Structure 1
Amino acid sequence: MNENNYPKLHNATWPGIVGKGPDSEPPISFDTMLEMTAAAEVDGIKFDGVDIGLFEPHINIDNTGDGIKRLVDKVSSLDLEIGTLVAPIWGGPAMGTKEERAQFVEQVRKSCIFGSKLRELGVRPHGVIRIDSASTPQRWALDPENSTKMIAQTFREACDVAADYGEKLAAEGEICWGGMHSWRTMIDTLEAVGRPNIGFQADMSHTLLYLLGYNRPEDRILPVDFDWSDRGALTQGLVTLTNALRPWTIDFHVAQNDGTVHGTGSHDKTGRHCLASDPNGKLDIARDAGYWLRDEKGELTKAFKHICWDGCMFSNEVMMQQQTWKDILSAMIKVRQLHGWYEPEKQLMADTVQ
């Protein structure tokens, strides 16, 4: 039996909200997302934790007193931990007015306060604060040089705030965020920020679209006439992409994609998240995760303590089936079997000392 216990396996709760709404489907409650996560089990293995979005209707980011204690009790009662937190920065784009950019930084500050309290209460042993530019590629393209400078300045201010709380910020690589919509623009933005506590959040579904140059054709890695049956070319493309972005990667989402874009509700079109068992999926999930989790020499980077599945914009019908989460957990277990490691748990070590 494979004894790897790291990286820890997390499920995201925000798919219960993102892409939902009046013009789509109703949100799925936080409690339901937690319960479906906790109930998933494969050969005695369960999810270790959840990554959560700090936004309504799941979480009130301003409720840092009794509300956080209730959250901790609820999550802990299901034998789960909390990892990465998504900062609700979309009301103040990083390329916005002075006031909007200040609002962006303030939301990061609130997220860091929330995260630090979760750490103090012992439910959040690892994880980062996830951000994006909250700006469109189209707006960025009007003045690329100054757009990147403005995003970088906002991110720098956010990094300085996060540093006060011992937090790192992970910029999500997704084709719908300006300045982050291609692998080259992502690296340009991160380099322009120039802070030690910022990195990249890789999502296997979103980064697959980087290979195809969606929203920035000049940064395409795979040829225009690429045939998905050419696994050799896909592998080389993944190697090129991950060699460039892996050194920045501090947070990681396991995912599947069928090579298309998708959007629901108010969410812009981005890389489609597919079921782990989707026959149209273009990725070999366990194998291809290794390009992110291992360096160019094949050695484990151990750059983060947990990995997460993001089922963003899955339909409610799919998310309400327990088999969905069992299949996802099974896929993540395979990733850990191939690219994980073993560490003695702190509590076990403490028990041994006693």
Structure 2
Amino acid sequence: MSQNNFPKLHNATWPGIVGKGPDSEPVISLDEMLQFTANAEVDGVKFDGVDVGLFEPHVNLEGGDDEAKRLADKVSALGLKIGSVVAPIWGGPILGSDEDRATYLDMVEKSCKFAQKLRDLGVREYGIVRVDTASSPEQWAKDPKGSQKLIVETLKEAANIASNYGERLAAEGEICWGGMHSWKTMLETLESVNSPNLGFQADMAHTLLYTMGYNFPEHRILPDGYDWQDRAVLTAALKEMTAALRPWTIDFHVAQNDGTVFGSGSHDKTGRHCLATDPHGKLNVVEDSAHWLRDENGKLTKAFKHICWDGCMFPNAVMGKQQTWNDILAALIKVRNAHGWSE
């Protein structure tokens, strides 16, 4: 087995919350998510850490130093690190009112301040603060030029805030966020903001939907009626998309998708996350990770110190099995064996 120790292998805790709630299934507690992560092991290899959503009921972002220390102690006690964190910006959509945008920036600042505290506590040595626009493609489409202007202005302010705390923001490439709902609009947003403190978060389940033109058919790369058995066509599409977005990529989620969209609870429909072992998955997880982890010449980019598995909106019956997390860890190990390095 490869002796690569980078990138570090992380599990996400927010799948215990996202898509859960009163109109879906019960939330899975942070303690349970951490325990599943800490207990996972494959051939002596374990998860190195977790990526964390900074929102209730897992984390009280208003809790200040005491809450940061509580989280750091809880994670450290299990031999884990914290990497990237998710800013809870959805109460302030960028394409809303002036007050909404002020709320958005306030939540970005609180998240960056909290992330810095985790760094100071020694539990967080790498990772970013994840954001999106908190606005729908439908809202964006009412005035594409005006929407882009507001998004760019707001994200420029957000990036400046992040720089004050020594943090970088990563915009999630997901079809349900206006201005980020196609690979070309995502690229336009990144290029227009043009800040060293704003990059791209690639999630393999979501970016596959980019190639299919969901929510923006004009930017589809895969041909209509594409035959999923033709790997060469898919590979070419992935290469075209990743060549554009990889230079901006500072955070990466290993994931699987079956070519469909899905939403549960209050979450909008987006790329369906599938288990690593799902026979309906359209991606070759290890092979297709290379498009993000290696440049066009096959050289490792080493653009981020960790990779994370994101599996939002899995049923609780699936998430409650330890084998699920062992299988996820096994997939991440294979990716690191193929595209990792040693330090």
The 2-side partners of 1:194 and 1:301 are apart by 20
Aligned residue in 2 for 1:318:
318
SS of equivalent residue, structure 2 residue 50: strand
The 1-side partners of 2:338 and 2:217 are apart by 33
The 2-side partners of 1:251 and 1:55 are apart by 20
SS of equivalent residue, structure 2 residue 62: coil
Instruction: Name the amino acid aligned to 2:124.
Output: R
Deviation at 1:95, TM superposition (A): 1.4
Q: Mapping of 1:90-239 within 5 angstroms? A: 90-239=90-239
Aligned residue in 2 for 1:8:
8
1:333 partnered with 2:333: yes
The 2-side partners of 1:281 and 1:341 are apart by 27
Aligned residue in 2 for 1:253:
253
1:284 partnered with 2:284: yes
Deviation at 1:191, TM superposition (A): 1.3
Deviation at 1:293, TM superposition (A): 0.2
The 2-side partners of 1:67 and 1:231 are apart by 47
Instruction: Name the amino acid aligned to 2:282.
Output: K
- For the Cα contact (< 8 Å) 2:61–2:67, is it kept in 1? no
Deviation at 1:186, TM superposition (A): 0.2
SS of equivalent residue, structure 1 residue 42: coil
The 1-side partners of 2:195 and 2:146 are apart by 19
The 2-side partners of 1:336 and 1:307 are apart by 9
Instruction: Name the amino acid aligned to 1:63.
Output: G
The 2-side partners of 1:241 and 1:318 are apart by 32
SS of equivalent residue, structure 2 residue 102: helix
SS of equivalent residue, structure 1 residue 288: helix
The 1-side partners of 2:226 and 2:176 are apart by 22
The 2-side partners of 1:68 and 1:55 are apart by 12
Per-residue CA distance 1:44-81 (angstroms, 9 max, x = gap): 00000000000000000011222221211110010000
- For the Cα contact (< 8 Å) 1:176–1:269, is it kept in 2? yes
Aligned residue in 1 for 2:65:
65
Aligned residue in 2 for 1:349:
none
Aligned residue in 2 for 1:83:
83
Alpha carbon RMSD of aligned pairs, Å? 0.6
Per-residue CA distance 1:135-183 (angstroms, 9 max, x = gap): 0001101111110110111111111111000100000000000000000
The 2-side partners of 1:67 and 1:170 are apart by 23
SS of equivalent residue, structure 1 residue 64: helix
The 1-side partners of 2:210 and 2:112 are apart by 29
- For the Cα contact (< 8 Å) 2:65–2:117, is it kept in 1? no
Instruction: Name the amino acid aligned to 2:187.
Output: I
The 2-side partners of 1:99 and 1:52 are apart by 27
The 2-side partners of 1:128 and 1:218 are apart by 31
Instruction: Name the amino acid aligned to 2:228.
Output: W
Instruction: Name the amino acid aligned to 1:223.
Output: P
Instruction: Name the amino acid aligned to 2:229.
Output: S
The 2-side partners of 1:306 and 1:194 are apart by 24
Deviation at 1:98, TM superposition (A): 1.0
Between 1:192-201 and 1:27-36, the stretch displaced more is 192-201
The 2-side partners of 1:7 and 1:95 are apart by 36
Per-residue CA distance 1:308-328 (angstroms, 9 max, x = gap): 001100110100000000000
The 2-side partners of 1:138 and 1:70 are apart by 40
TM-score (norm 1): 0.96
SS of equivalent residue, structure 1 residue 9: strand
Deviation at 1:97, TM superposition (A): 1.1
The 1-side partners of 2:245 and 2:84 are apart by 19
- For the Cα contact (< 8 Å) 2:15–2:313, is it kept in 1? yes
Deviation at 1:225, TM superposition (A): 1.6
The 2-side partners of 1:295 and 1:124 are apart by 27
Per-residue CA distance 1:72-126 (angstroms, 9 max, x = gap): 1110010000000000000001112111101101101000110111000100000
Aligned residue in 2 for 1:351:
none
- For the Cα contact (< 8 Å) 1:259–1:281, is it kept in 2? yes
- For the Cα contact (< 8 Å) 1:149–1:192, is it kept in 2? no
Between 1:68-77 and 1:315-324, the stretch displaced more is 68-77
Unaligned runs of 5+ in 1: 344-354
Deviation at 1:196, TM superposition (A): 1.6
SS of equivalent residue, structure 2 residue 61: coil
Per-residue CA distance 1:243-283 (angstroms, 9 max, x = gap): 01100100000000000000000000000000000000000
Instruction: Name the amino acid aligned to 1:298.
Output: G
The 1-side partners of 2:193 and 2:123 are apart by 30
Unaligned runs of 5+ in 2: none
SS of equivalent residue, structure 1 residue 266: coil
- For the Cα contact (< 8 Å) 1:11–1:49, is it kept in 2? yes
The 1-side partners of 2:21 and 2:213 are apart by 30
The 2-side partners of 1:138 and 1:95 are apart by 11
Quick one: percent identity of the two aligned structures? Answer: 68
